[in-house]
Amino acid sequence: MTTTTRFAPSPTGRLHVGNIRTALHNWFLARKSGGRFMLRIDDTDAARSRDEYVDAIRADLAWLGMEPDGEERQSERLALYEAAFERLRATGRVYPAYETSQELELKRKVQLGRGLPPIYDRGALALTDEERAAKEADGIAPHWRFKLDHDAPIAWDDGVRGSVKFDPAQLSDPVIRRADGSWLYMLPSAVDDIEMGVTDVLRGEDHVSNTAVQVQMFEALGAAPPRFAHEALLVGKEGKLSKRLGSLGCDAFRERGLEPEALVALLARLGTSQPVEPIADRQTLVESFDLSTFGRAPAKFDDSELDRLNAAIVHQMDYAHVSDRLPAGMDEAGWHTVRPNLATVGEAGDWWKLVTGPIEQPEFSDEDRAYLAQAAEALKWDEDPWGTLTGKLKEATGRKGKALFLPLRQALTGMNHGPDMGELLSLIGEAEAKNRLERSR
């Protein structure tokens, strides 16, 4: 069977770095085995789901270079859930329950007070037909629970966590449908995974107990469960899932001028035993992707690591890859000159101003002014103007090191540091270079 993974966001907000990571890992898993990566929009919650978020999710995936091979929307698949629900109802695997949330809360408090786990007591299953009829006659519409099979122990071999076991008697029968007929996450997700041919469900470890329930749902629906893997969650470097991290998405990264490749390289390996490296080549990351290298400890997201990776990736980028984002007039030689000094591609414009001018020179001492006048005289345009200039000046003045180079850099660029002077000087050109050296008199 073709490996099929899915990324299943709820369009109730923008993607944040945590869900981007889950999406990416599903994309890698599919690409590694030549399979399919599906986008499933979990929009059964009509009140909170927004089309604008669906569009934003698509745009973010496109920016990250992870376009899905297909897309489904849960709101368009309600008939499938209805059919599955009817099947489960006919076999007694779903049942109506009438407790109000206050009643349920009270039951939980009593259980906890007695030191018992707050597991649903199946009170609704104990109702007689008459009692049920009386509730309905009172106008109480039921919500619906999936009946776990207490005699069928739950176990799976998790791609990250290894062997996982659950005793179904220690779980509450989950509510799968509200009294108003709307769906909770659990059943539609299992129905879709079956219907869409999903072979691998890779998601956050906050879903482990959902998986336990869904394993029985797959079986009750006559399907073999997919392979499951639950990755440790992403946390900030302080060790918590901070509010900031929860709202940090592609827009923020784009605004900071970061390359999608940097984010992808970081999230591909963060929390695994493989080193995080500035790998811009997607295929290399796909080939090295391996669930067995995923650790159980939370993955720590560190912004400064992302910045470092971004710079390292920018330093490898070809002119063709960035040319449409560079300042007017900046050619391949210009790009190669400034590239090693960039933290983001956007900074290329700042360095390019050193070439195009105008530049602002510092105040020079009398001695340096004399030296720069000498430099203006000595400037000669040959194969290597910088090498020739500094060679001559060294001989003529006895200056060396900083005393030799810094006043020249300052006069020619207005800066104390920056790209290679040999390359910059060639880009500035003879007339302008002479002009700048003379101006510092």
Q: Which is nearer to ligand GLU, 10 or 242 (CB)?
A: 10
Q: Which residues pair with 236 in a beta bridge?
A: 301
Q: Which stretch binds ligand GLU (CB under 6 A): 8-16, 218-226, 245-253, 380-388?
A: 8-16
Q: Which stretch binds ligand GLU (CB under 6 A): 4-12, 231-239, 274-282, 416-424?
A: 4-12
Q: Which is nearer to ligand GLU, 179 or 184 (CB)?
A: 184
In the complex, least distance from residue 203 CB atom to ligand GLU, rounded to whole angstroms? 4
In the complex, least distance from residue 12 CB atom to ligand GLU, rounded to whole angstroms? 9
The radius of gyration computed from the CA coordinates of the chain, to the nearest angstrom, equals 32
In the complex, least distance from residue 97 CB atom to ligand GLU, rounded to whole angstroms? 23
Report the site for ligand GLU in 361-390 (rule: CB under 6 A).
none
Report the site for ligand GLU in 163-202 (rule: CB under 6 A).
185, 189
Q: Which is nearer to ligand GLU, 73 or 207 (CB)?
A: 207
Q: Which is nearer to ligand GLU, 185 or 301 (CB)?
A: 185
> Following DSSP, what letter does each residue of 249-277 receive, concatenated?
-HHHHHHTT--HHHHHHHHHHTTBSSPP-
How far from chain centre, in Å, is Cα 238? 19
In the complex, least distance from residue 291 CB atom to ligand GLU, rounded to whole angstroms? 15
* Cβ-Cβ contacts under 8 Å for 374 (sequence gap 6 or more): 393, 396, 397
Residue 9, interface with ligand GLU (CB under 6 A)? yes
The answer to whether the CB of 75 falls within 8 A of the CB of 48 is no
In the complex, least distance from residue 55 CB atom to ligand GLU, rounded to whole angstroms? 17
Distances (CA, A) of 23 to 10, 43, 204, 439: 13, 17, 11, 57
Q: Which is nearer to ligand GLU, 64 or 359 (CB)?
A: 64
In the complex, least distance from residue 113 CB atom to ligand GLU, rounded to whole angstroms? 32
**Beta carbons within 10 angstroms of residue 163's beta carbon:** 8
What amino acid is encoded at 328 in this protein? A
**Beta carbons within 10 angstroms of residue 285's beta carbon:** 22
In the complex, least distance from residue 202 CB atom to ligand GLU, rounded to whole angstroms? 8
Q: Which is nearer to ligand GLU, 191 or 427 (CB)?
A: 191
Q: Which is nearer to ligand GLU, 9 or 249 (CB)?
A: 9
Q: Which is nearer to ligand GLU, 16 or 31 (CB)?
A: 16
> Following DSSP, what letter does each residue of 87-124 receive, concatenated?
HHHHTTSEEEE---HHHHHHHHHHHHHTT-------GG
Q: Which stretch binds ligand GLU (CB under 6 A): 3-11, 83-91, 164-172, 285-293?
A: 3-11
In the list 8, 57, 248, 285, the residue contacting ligand GLU (rule: CB under 6 A) is 8
In the complex, least distance from residue 140 CB atom to ligand GLU, rounded to whole angstroms? 29
Q: Which is nearer to ligand GLU, 39 or 421 (CB)?
A: 39
**3-class DSSP assignment, residue 72:** strand
> Following DSSP, what letter does each residue of 4-34 receive, concatenated?
EEEE---SSS---HHHHHHHHHHHHHHHHTT
Q: Which stretch binds ligand GLU (CB under 6 A): 2-10, 264-272, 358-366, 423-431?
A: 2-10
Rounded Cα distance between 400 and 41, Å, is 66
Sort 85 into a burial class: Cβ within 10 Å, 0-12 / 13-18 / 19+: buried
Ranked by CB distance to ligand GLU, the top (closest) residue is: 42
Rounded Cα distance between 379 and 75, Å, is 72
Report the site for ligand GLU in 36-95 (rule: CB under 6 A).
42
Q: Which is nearer to ligand GLU, 26 or 272 (CB)?
A: 26
Q: Which is nearer to ligand GLU, 203 or 436 (CB)?
A: 203
Q: Which stretch binds ligand GLU (CB under 6 A): 6-14, 87-95, 127-135, 295-303?
A: 6-14
What's the number of CA atoms in the CB half-sphere (13 Å) around residue 190? 28
* Strand-by-strand arrangement of the 4-7 sheet: 70-73, 36-41, 4-7, 200-204, 227-231
Rounded Cα distance between 20 and 236, Å, is 15
Q: Which residues bind ligand GLU (CB under 6 A)?
A: 8-10, 42, 185, 189, 203, 207
